[in-house]
């Protein structure tokens, strides 16, 4: 064990997966007790990802594809299909989405 409670993985078969497992075990621990109305505040934002998403992050980083790439294209296709439209475009912000919407 190392500080923070992460397990040291010896000779992993997949370093990315081993790192995701270690990182997930550290970051996915709840930091607050269950919320009780008026007693424990609900955080405005927090981590909302799991082990699989960490693995995909490492995968896309190892491709060194730091802008749009195969994951963005896959998301656009699946999102368009989900909402029942011919095409969807992924943008970097709500402001960019608004600009596309008013110029469409």
What average pLDDT does range 14-27 have in this prediction? Answer: 59
* Ranges of each domain in the chain: 1-30+49-64, 67-104
The whole-model pTM stands at 0.47
Judge whether 4 and 26 are in contact, CB under 8 Å.
yes
What is the average pLDDT score of the chain? 73
What pLDDT, on the 0 to 100 scale, is given for residue 57? 82
Name the pLDDT band for 98 (thresholds 50, 70, 90).
very high
What average pLDDT does range 28-57 have in this prediction? Answer: 69
Q: Residue 8 pLDDT more than 60?
A: no
CA neighbours closer than 13 Å in the CB half-sphere of residue 29: 8
What pLDDT, on the 0 to 100 scale, is given for residue 82? 96
DSSP one-letter string for 1-53: --TTSPPPPSS-S-HHHHHHHHHHHHHTS--SPPP-TTTSPPPSS-----HHH
């Amino acid at each position: 064990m190392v500080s923070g409670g992460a397990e040291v993985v010896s000779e992993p078969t997949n370093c990315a997966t081993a790192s995701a497992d270690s990182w997930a075990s550290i970051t996915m621990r709840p930091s607050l007790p269950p919320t009780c109305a008026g007693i424990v505040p609900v955080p405005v934002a927090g981590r909302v990802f799991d082990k699989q998403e960490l693995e995909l992050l490492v995968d896309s980083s190892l491709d060194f594809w730091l802008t749009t790439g195969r994951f963005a294209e896959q998301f656009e296709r699946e999102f368009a299909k989900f909402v029942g439209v011919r095409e969807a475009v992924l943008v970097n912000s709500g402001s960019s989405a608004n600009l596309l919407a008013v110029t469409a």
